[in-house]
Amino acid sequence: MAEVKNKQVIFKNYVEGVPKESDMYISDTATIKLKVPHEEEASPSVLVKNLYLSCDPVMRIRMRKPGDETSSYFTPFAPGSPIVGYGVSKVVDSKHPEFKAGDLVWGITKWEEYILIKNTQSFFKINHTDVPLSYYTGILGMPGMTAYAGFYEVCNPKKGEYVYVSSAFGAVGQLVGQFAKLMGCYVVGSAGSQEKVDILKNKFGFDEAFNYKEEADLTAALKRYFPQGIDIYFENVGGKMLDAVLLNMRLHGRIAVCGMISQYNFEQHQGVTNLMHLVYKRVRMEGFFVPDFYHLYPKFLDLVVPFIKQGNITYVEDIVEGLENGPASLVRLFSGRNAGKAVVVVARE
Amino acid sequence: MAEVKNKQVIFKNYVEGVPKESDMYISDTATIKLKVPHEEEASPSVLVKNLYLSCDPVMRIRMRKPGDETSSYFTPFAPGSPIVGYGVSKVVDSKHPEFKAGDLVWGITKWEEYILIKNTQSFFKINHTDVPLSYYTGILGMPGMTAYAGFYEVCNPKKGEYVYVSSAFGAVGQLVGQFAKLMGCYVVGSAGSQEKVDILKNKFGFDEAFNYKEEADLTAALKRYFPQGIDIYFENVGGKMLDAVLLNMRLHGRIAVCGMISQYNFEQHQGVTNLMHLVYKRVRMEGFFVPDFYHLYPKFLDLVVPFIKQGNITYVEDIVEGLENGPASLVRLFSGRNAGKAVVVVARE
C-alpha cells in the first residue's frame, strides 16, 4: 500500500524560560501507511487522522529537561519527535474491536497529520456530534473534565459561596466560572486584558472580573472584590496570586490546585509565604489530576451537553488553521495572548 | 474578704524576631479576692488557682503586633497584661452550676497564681485523676487533642502508610508518632538534637529519626528515610522542610498543617516553591485548628487514657518549677532547646 506524506510539528530541544516558536519546527519528510500494520494485531492498534489539536498549559511542563521530580509525572517531550497532546481524530483503520473506520475520537495524540495509536486507553469515542467537533479539545474534552472535577469533586461547592477563578478566560477557567454561576455562587475572575475582563462579565456572566496586570496590590484587589472573603479558589496561576488569595480566604475555604501557569517558565518557582493562613482559616488545598476522574465522563456529558444545547454555557475558542500554525498558537498560551481555548485545525474532515 | 497576693507573668511588648525572657517580667503587685464577686452572678464565673501552665508554639503568634491578618485569628497578647495560655487549675470558688470548689479543670487561663474566669467555654472538667495532672497541659489536653484531630481526622491514615512527623519531640509530634505506630504505620520523626533523636527511636518507638540540623540537604535526607515516599506528613515546622517534603510525597498523600514553628520569628515567612507537587501527586494539604474538634474530647479520652495506663504511650515532659521560671521555659520552645512538653508548675495543689 502506498504511503502518504505526514506533516509533523517536531519538538527541537528542552526549553528554559518562555517557550518560543523556534523551539519547534515543521517537518515534511515523514510518510505513513494509512493502514494498521499486520504485526500490530497482538496489541490492537488504531490509525487515526488528526482533525483538531489542543494547546494546553500542561504542555509547558513536558518541555522541561528530564531529571527533576516532575518528569516522573509528566513525561518530557522527546527532542526530534512530534509534540504530544490532546486532539480530536477520525479513525482511518482499526484492529481494535471498540473502534472502526469513520469513528470520531478524542484523547492523547501527536502533532502530525496521521498517527498509529497503540495505546487507546486515553481515547474516548465521540457520540454527540451535534456540537462543534473542536469542543472535544475543550469544553467536552480534557479541559472541560478538569473544570468539572476540580469544581464539583474537589471543591464541594455550595450555593451562595464566594468563588474566585484565576486565568478565568482560559480553557478551564471560563467553564469553572459558568459552573459556579449555574450553582448559584458569586463568581469573580481575573484575566490579563480589559477585553478578556469584558467578555468574562458580559458573555460568561461572571459577577465581577478584573485585569490582574493593572493591580499593583493583588491582596487589596481581592479584598475589594471579596469583602467577605473567598470560599473557593480555583488555582490556575500560582505564585504571588496564590499568596494574595491565602490572605483573603474564608474559614473552611477550599483551594483546588489545577495548575500554576505563572510559574512554568521559572526554573525555581516563586516562593509562597502565606501558607500559615491554611491553619488560621482551616483551609483545604488539594492538587488534582484530571485522568483520575475520567470514569465520571459519562456523568459529565449528561450535565454539560444539555447546558451547551440550551445555551446555558458558552465557550470561546481561539482557533488557528493549519498544523504549521500550531507552534505560534502554543507559545501564545504562555504569554497570556491567547483569547480563549486554543485549538489548531489540522483538517476539517 | 481579705485579698491575697497574685504573682503574674506580664507581657511587656510586641515581639519581633526570637522572643527573649526580657519580653516578659514577673509582677508581685497584684492582689485578688479568692471569691467570685457578687456582681458576676449574671454570667456565672469561676475563680481558679492555677497549678500547671503550658508553653505552646502558638503563643509566639500571639506575641505579634496586631494589625496583620493573623490577629483576627489569634488575638495578640495585651502589653502590660499577663500572658494567656492553656493550664490546669483547681476551682476555689464558683457561681457556675457545672463547677464547684475543689474541681480540677483544664483550659485557657492566664499566667498568674489565681484568676477569675468569666468565660468557662474553653474549660474541661478533669475526671481521670489517676494520671499525672500535668498531662492535661499535654497528652490529655490541647496538644493531645491536636495530635488526635490532625492525625486521625485530617490525615485519614491507613495501616502500613509512611508517616513523617517534623518537630517530632514536641508536645504534639511525640504523640502523632506513637498514634501512627499504634495504627501500624511506618514512622520517621525529625528533631533538633541527637539526644532527642535517640529518645524518638528508643522510647517512643519511631522506626527512624534524624537530626534536621545535621542534614545539609533535607530533600536527600527524606529520600533516604522514605525511598517509597511519604503518605502522611504532620506539618509542624514549615519553610524549607515543607519544600523538601513536597518533593517526597507519594500519590494521594496528605499533609495536616498544624503549625509552622520555624517561621514564627520571621516577619515575612520563607517562600515555599514546590507547591506544584500538590498537583503532580494529587496531595491534599489541610490546615486545622484544634478547638474545631473539641466535641471529640470524650472519644479521645476513651482511646488515650487506656493507652497511658497500659503503657502503650509514653509522654516526656520538660517541667520547670515556679511561675517565675515560666518565661525561660517559654522562650526555650522557640530556640528548639525544650526537651519534651514544656510545663510550668505554679503550685502542686
Q: Where are the domains of chain A?
A: 3-138+317-345, 142-291
Region A10-24: mean pLDDT is 94
**Hey, of B69, B75, B262, B288, which one would you mutate to test binding to chain A, going by the most A CBs within 10 A of its CB?**
B69
Nearest residue of chain A to residue B270 (CA atoms): A273
**E strands present in chain A:** 3-5, 8-11, 24-27, 31-33, 46-54, 84-94, 104-110, 114-117, 124-125, 162-165, 186-191, 208-211, 230-235, 249-257, 284-287, 317-321, 341-345
Q: What angle do CA B161, B263, B192 make, to 5 degrees?
A: 60
Angle at A282 between CA A268 and CA B212, to 5 degrees: 50
For residues B192 and B338, give the distance between their C-alpha atoms in angstroms, rounded to a whole number. 10
- Selecting from B259, B269, B282 the residue whose C-beta is nearest the C-beta of A273 gives B269
In tens, the pLDDT along B71-90 reads 677 889 999 999 999 999 99
Asked which of A323-337, B171-185, B227-241 is least confident by mean pLDDT, the reply is A323-337
pLDDT score recorded for residue B232: 98
* Res B335: pLDDT: 83
Q: What nine digits make up the cell of A144?
A: 472541560
A269 touches chain B (CB under 8 A): yes
What residue has cell string 492525625?
B151
A27 close to A323: Cβ distance less than 8 angstroms:
no
Q: DSSP states of A59-128 as a string? A: HHHTTSPBTBGGGGTSPPPPTTSB-EEEEEEEEEEE-STT--TT-EEEEEEESBSEEEES-GGG-EE---
Question: Domain B3-138+316-345 maps to which CATH number in 3.90.180.10, 3.20.20.70, 3.40.50.970, 1.10.287.4070?
Answer: 3.90.180.10
A251–B contact, CB cutoff 8 A:
no
Q: What is the mean pLDDT of residues B10-20?
A: 94
Give first-to-last CA distance, chain B, whole Å: 22
Q: What are phi and psi of B247, to 5 degrees?
A: -70, -20
Say whether residue A75 is in contact with chain B using an 8 A CB cutoff.
Answer: no
Grid coordinates 490556575 are at which residue?
A236
Does B41 have pLDDT greater than 70? no
| Residue A68 clears pLDDT 70, i.e. is over it | no
Other Cβ atoms less than 10 A from the Cβ of B98: the count is 12
Taking the C-alpha atoms of residue A157 and residue A147, their distance in angstroms, rounded to an integer, is: 13
Q: How confident is the model at residue B69 (pLDDT cuts 50, 70, 90)?
A: low
> Would the pLDDT of A340 be above 90?
no
pLDDT, mean of residues B45-69:
90
CATH of domain B142-291: 3.40.50.720
Check: CB of residue B48 under 8 Å from CB of residue B115.
yes
Q: Give A-chain residues touching B268 at CB under 8 angstroms.
A: 273
Q: How far is the C-alpha of B110 from the C-alpha of B132, rounded, in Å? A: 21
- For residue B341, the cross-strand partners are B317
Residues B277-312 pLDDT 10s: 999 999 999 999 999 999 999 999 999 999 999 999
What percent of chain B stands above pLDDT 70?
97
What pLDDT, on the 0 to 100 scale, is given for residue B296?
97
Q: In which band, very low, low, confident or very high, does the pLDDT at B329 lie, cut at 50, 70 and 90?
A: very high
Report CB contact under 8 Å: B259, A238: no
Of B268, B275, B284, the CB nearest to A284: B284
Supply the DSSP string of A311-344, one letter for each residue: TSS---EEEEESGGGHHHHHHHHTTT---SEEEE
Q: In sequence order, which residues have a C-beta less than 8 Å from that of residue A108 and are 6 or more positions away? A: A84, A85, A86, A87, A122, A123
Domain A3-138+317-345, architecture per CATH: Alpha-Beta Complex (3.90)
Q: Extract the C-alpha cell encoding A314.
A: 458558552
Q: Residue B198 carries which side chain, given as an amino acid letter?
A: D
**pLDDT for res A121:** 86
Count other Cβ atoms within 10 Å, centred on residue A113.
Answer: 19
Q: Which residues of A touch B251 (CB under 8 A)?
A: none
Residue where the block lists cell 518565661 = B327
